[in-house]
Amino acid sequence: MIEKHYQPSDIESRMSLIWEDSRAFSAGRPERRDARPFTIVIPPPNVTGSLHMGHALNNTLQDILCRFERMRGRDVLWQPGTDHAGIATQMVVERQLMERQQPSRREMGREKFLDRVWQWKAESGGIIINQLKRLGASCDWSRERFTMDEGLSRAVVKVFIELHRQGLIYKDKRLVNWDPNLLTAISDLEVQQIEVKGNLWYLRYPLEGKTFNPGDPSSFIVVATTRPETMLGDTAVAVHPDDERYAHLVGRHVVLPLVGRKIPIVADEYSDPEKGSGAVKVTPAHDFNDFEVGKRHNLAQISVFDKEARLLLTGNEDYLRGLPEGAAELAEELHGLDRFAARKWIVARLEDFGFLDRIEPNTHMVPHGDRSGVVIEPFLTDQWYVDAKTLAQPAIAAVRSGATTFVPKNWEKTYYEWMENIQPWCVSRQLWWGHQIPAWYGPDGKVFVAETEDEAVGNALGYYVEQEVITAEQGREMALDRNKRAGFITRDEDVLDTWFSSALWPFSTLGWPDQTPEVKRYYPTDVLVTGFDIIFFWVARMMMMGLHFMKEAPFSTVYIHALVRDEKGAKMSKSKGNVIDPLHLIDQYGADALRFTLAAMAAQGRDIKLAASRVEGYRNFATKLWNACRFAEMNNCALPPKFDPAGAKEVLNRWMAHETARATREVTEAIESYRFNDAAGAIYRFVWNIYCDWYLELAKPVLLGEEGEAKSETRAMVAFARDVILKLLHPFMPFLTEELWAVTAKRDGLLTLASWPRKAVALTPEQVALMAAASPNEPLLAPILMAADTSELSDPAAEAEIGWVVDLVTAIRSVRAEMNIPPATLTSLVLSAASAETQARVPRWSDVIKRLARLNDISFTDRPPEGSVQLLIRGEVASLPLKGVIDLSAEKIRLDKELAKADSDIKRVDAKLANEKFVANAPEEIVEEEKEKREAAVARKAKISDAIERLRNAAS
């Protein structure tokens, strides 16, 4: 028995348990051993995070695909898991420590801190998984993985070592994006350029050998800068080689104000004569461009900041080298000053001495850390880099060749743009939470990359014995005795970028580097579903790593969905605090309603601005289906064994079979082509507008009537269509449909494992033969198409008849409303000059028409009775004799309007047909269509004129 009311929360918790107990979502179910696999890896959410709207959309779409393919018989693996999210998680725990006034990370030390993070992971790691389950995600939960679990960590180490051996990972000292707050390097992608209103400071750098005089421009050169404080680290001034203003100065030197350092004026094309003064200060240690200029001109790199972006001058030999007397005093004074304070101090002092030429307001982009929000400092450090340029080549080729395609396609351009201009990927992070880099350093700093410390020790001892740094005897002793070798080599303290392990996700989760059966069966995966915001972070890197290590692209399709934005259209993010909680909507309306809403709004290439009223509307849709199923149940509608919808005899049932086939085709094709909104729209219309509004209504008289063949066939069709609905809707509303599947009939198994309705493809035997000839290597193709050929369900006669009933009922209702006839007033219907077809139809439908159109009688005459409302239904006149009830003048107005409409239709078509160019150029079928339209309109006009004429006679 179906409960009277639809209660989403009850159903959802119950169904979750049933699916879990039956292991319905397990990959590799024995009965599907021979089935084609279908694999999706979940974009692993942050292990300590919670479900936001983006997750809800992302996982709803994946789940639709997985449930769809599972019902189509594929062996589905939806691989779940979570990401350790290096910086994010470490920040969360550090914040907790601060809030609880506990010892800081550094005070605790690495080991204790990591214990603490693992503890936090244990506490909160299950939350998001449970939230995904609440959403209905049909992952194979028995296979859940975590990027830092043992197996995945082995994959990370293996990849690092391999890439290092191949020269594709290397250590380099160069400028990195340094976050002075988090005290770590970050990658280019983690830097956000933010527009900041600032200034352009024009500084006078005195020429060597001249006496500086602010009033004498020939005694100095003006440079413009947005960062005056970095002048302490200047090692040159650059001008453009072709800039005649400065040609005579190239090769000469300036004396750096305040500091006293003598630095050259060099010619370099980087300098743009149009910008600033045309001369630019060069600070190789604190600016990416200047770094390159410095390399070209062999300039010193003087780093003047420490890790926290405070001036590091005292004891800074690079800085102090070659400075005149007194410079050390300045260094003492400024040492430790924050970069922004330093800016103020230096500008003020430059002004005092006449070195400040002028200040111009200037708005420019300033790099900020996307996690910490502070200004990024280009900083000279040793870091590990991945040679992304090399790895990118096969990844580009895979998309070019079509081995991997993006949906929608326009994202491929974005992908190419980035991949073709890819920079070395800085993968080391000065954090503790993550995969520690498997590299050890010997006493002279030489690097030993190895899987384990023991292996690194072995390599190091071998090397140093060979180099005669230690004797063979010492080497043997140290190899045998842990204590003796303690501290001989030390491990790199840094960890890897979180995305390094994420990049391996499509194969590391399957057990790689072991050659597991899962790796063989489920790699490469079929589809990756993700948002465009992580194409660079994740998709591109999975492509690179997958192709490099597995020799095959990790997925054949990348479906890029929209972002769910907040009500203002802004991107939702934790830092902005504008996150809408999907769980709140689930509590309120149910997971099914939320899922359906997201699918219905997931049109390709458009962002989703979510309105709660929309969710409510689709909850109502669920209720509607619920009640329709109750109706079927009340009328004892059940599917008899071996029911053949194509063999239905009743017109109504033939029509329904036809509509069911059509809905099946629409939904199937829409999901196949990732048009989730179209699929949702098709099933919505089918359930509400076809099944509920018309089919069940039209079936009522039969269902309430006498037992007999018609009644049993109708009961069967009601049940058949309901079952198709439950199947088609299951990927979108899994809980509701599974519940209804269970309670509406005795079933052999779960809906989620039931078979998808076969797609109705109307093909002629010739077409089938052609297709079979075109793909001889797919022997199954032709039989499938033949079996699925439900063209016999297409039934124009039934469609015409039901269409007539619908039109008639709708027209009567409309005119009754217009004439303000109360529902309780029953009228009679008179059909005039009815065709044989109509006369045959009436007995079949009189009950229905009377019921739906509020009639008490239907009769036939030759001519419409006087004083009646006359309706034109498919070319015939249907009248409601309402003499005395209706207002004749109002009826006249109504008919005049219709006449005018018919007239204007004729005129429009005539204009077209009179246009020779139209007739000559438009496709034949369009012209033909227009002619038919004209004929229909002319006929309609004639009938309406007649009706008006009759009305006039009645009035007189």
Distance of closest approach, residue 170 Cβ to RNA, in angstroms: 21
Whether 855 contacts 849, CB under 8 Å: yes
Q: Which is nearer to RNA, 183 or 534 (CB)?
A: 534
In the complex, the smallest distance separating the C-beta of residue 105 from RNA, rounded to whole angstroms, is 29
Task: Quote the CA–CA distance of 736 and 724 in Å, as a whole number.
Answer: 14
| Residue 645 CB, nearest approach to RNA (Å) | 20
Which residues partner with 86 through β-bridges? none
CB of 338 to RNA, least distance (A): 19
Q: Is the peptide bond before 43 cis (omega within 30 degrees of 0)?
A: no
CB of 425 to RNA, least distance (A): 12
- What is the nearest approach in angstroms of RNA to the Cβ of residue 579? 16
Whichever of 627 and 828 has its CB closer to RNA, that residue is 627
- Among residues 812, 893, 882, the alpha carbon closest in space to that of 845 is found at 812
Nearest to 737 by CA among 595, 547, 872: 595
Provide, rounded to whole angstroms, the least separation between the CB of residue 734 and RNA: 18
Q: Is 274 or 444 the residue whose CB approaches RNA more closely?
A: 274
Q: For strand 356-369 and strand 191-206, is the pairing parallel, antiparallel, or unpaired?
A: antiparallel
Lookup: tokens for 336: 């430790």
Name which of 112 and 606 has its Cβ closer to RNA. 606
Return the H-helix or E-strand segment holding 743: helix 734-744
C-alpha 937/C-alpha 131 separation (Å) is: 58
CB of 266 vs RNA, minimal distance in Å: 12
Question: Smallest gap, in angstroms, from Cβ of residue 177 to RNA?
Answer: 9
Residue 129, CB-side half-sphere exposure with 13 Å CA sphere = 20
Closer Cβ to RNA, 203 or 545, answer by number: 203
By beta-carbon proximity to RNA, the closer residue of 342 and 450 is: 342
Please give the Cα distance from 70 to 74 (Å, whole number).
5
User: 409: which 2 tokens?
Assistant: 């396609």
Q: Residue 810 Cβ, how far from RNA at the closest point, in Å?
A: 4
| 941 vs 929: CA distance, rounded Å | 18
Measured from the CB atom, the residue of 27 and 902 that comes closer to RNA is 902
- Written as one letter, the residue type at 135 is L
Residue 645 or 701 with smaller CB distance to RNA: 701
Q: Is 628 helix (H, G, I), strand (E, B) or coil?
A: helix
Nearer to RNA, 351 or 928 (CB): 928
The CB density around residue 151, as the number of other CB atoms within 10 Å, is: 17
User: What is the 3 state secondary structure string of 851-918?
Assistant: HHHCEEEEEEECCCCCCEEEEEECCEEEEEECCCCCCHHHHHHHHHHHHHHHHHHHHHHHHHHHCHHH
* 630 contacts 2 by C-beta, under 8 angstroms: yes
| Residue (728 or 937) nearer to RNA, CB | 937
Radius of gyration from C-alpha coordinates of the chain: 38
Closer residue to RNA (CB): 41 or 625: 625
Phi, psi dihedrals of residue 187, rounded to the nearest 5°:
-85, 165
- SS3 state of residue 300: coil
* Structure tokens given for 12: 């959802």
> Collapsing DSSP states into helix, strand and coil, what is residue 454?
helix
Least distance to RNA from the beta carbon of 156, Å?
25
* Cβ nearer to RNA, comparing 351 with 818: 818
Nearer to RNA (CB atom), residue 207 or residue 853: 853
Q: What are the φ and ψ backbone dihedral angles of 510, each rounded to 5 degrees? A: -90, 0
Please report how close the Cβ of residue 678 comes to RNA at its closest, in angstroms.
7
3-class DSSP assignment, residue 671: helix
CA 49 to chain centre: 18
Q: How far is 192 from 190, CA to CA, in rounded Å? A: 7
Return phi, psi of residue 338, to 5°. Answer: -60, 150
Q: Minimal CA–CA distance to 615: which of 648, 590, 638?
A: 590
CA distance 110 to 928: 81
Between the CA of residue 380 and those of 191, 291, 304, 430, what are the distances in Å? 17, 10, 10, 14
Name the minimum Å distance from CB 521 to RNA: 36
| Closer of 278 and 881 to RNA (Cβ) | 278
State which residue, 151 or 273, has the beta carbon closest to RNA: 273
Helix (H, G, I), strand (E, B) or coil at 705: coil
637 vs 651, beta carbon nearer RNA: 637
Other CB atoms within 10 A of residue 876 CB: 17
Instruction: Compute the least distance from the CB of residue 376 to RNA, in Å.
Output: 10
**How far apart are the C-alpha atoms of 357 and 359, rounded to whole Å?**
7
CA 775-781-785 angle, to 5 degrees, is: 130
**Considering beta carbons, is residue 753 or 882 the nearer one to RNA?**
882
Q: Tokens 């109002």 sit at which residue?
A: 890
For residue 607, the minimal CB distance to RNA (Å) is 6
Q: Least distance from C-beta 603 to RNA, angstroms?
A: 4
Residue 578 pairs with which residues in a beta bridge? none
3-state helix, strand, coil in the chain (%, to 5): 50, 15, 30
Shortest Cβ 238–RNA spacing (Å): 7
